[in-house]
Amino acid sequence: MPRLAICAVCRREMLWTVTDAGRRLAVDPEPHMDGNTAVYRDGIGTWRSRRPTDELPIMGWERLHKPHVATCTGRRRPPAPARPGTLPPGVSDLSAYRLKGRRQS
C-alpha cells in the first residue's frame, strides 16, 4: 500500500506522483474510470503519472486516477460578486477599453 499524504485544505488522502516532466502531481489514491491521469509504479518504487494520448494509450500496468486538484472540496472559489447595473457618479467603465487592449496583443 502506498504511503499517502493528507491534503492541507480538504483533509483527504492523496498520492504524490512524478510526471514525465519531473514535476510532482497529487492524485486521488483510488483509481477512477473517469480519470485522465495514468498512474503506475516504476522499478524503484516511485509513483509515476502521465497523460494518456492516442499515440500512447493506457497500458496494462497503469490505472486511471483523477488529479486531486479536480476533486478537492476545499479549493472551490466563491462566486464572483454581482456587478451593479449602474455605476456610481464619477466612476468610469473600463471593460470596453480592456477588451480592446487584449485583442491587439
pLDDT surpasses 80 at 105 = no
Task: Give a yes or no: residue 104 inside a domain.
Answer: no
pLDDT, tens only, 45-87: 999 999 999 999 999 999 999 999 888 887 666 666 776 678 8
Range of the domain at 16: 1-76
Query: What would the pLDDT profile of 14-31 be if each residue is shown by its tens digit?
Result: 999 999 999 999 999 999
56: which 3 cell numbers? 500512447
3-state secondary structure of 97: helix
Domain assignment of residue 99, yes or no: no
The answer to the question of residue 11 being in a domain is yes
As given in the structure block, the three cell numbers for residue 44 are 524503484
93 within some domain: no
| pLDDT value of residue 2 | 67
Q: Domain count of the chain? A: 1
Given this model, what pLDDT does residue 34 score?
92
Is position 62 within any domain? yes
Q: Could you tell me if residue 81 is inside a domain?
A: no
| Residue 104: φ, ψ to 5° | -75, -25
pLDDT of amino acid 47: 95
Is 77 in a helix, a strand, or coil?
Answer: coil
- The answer to the question of residue 46 being in a domain is yes
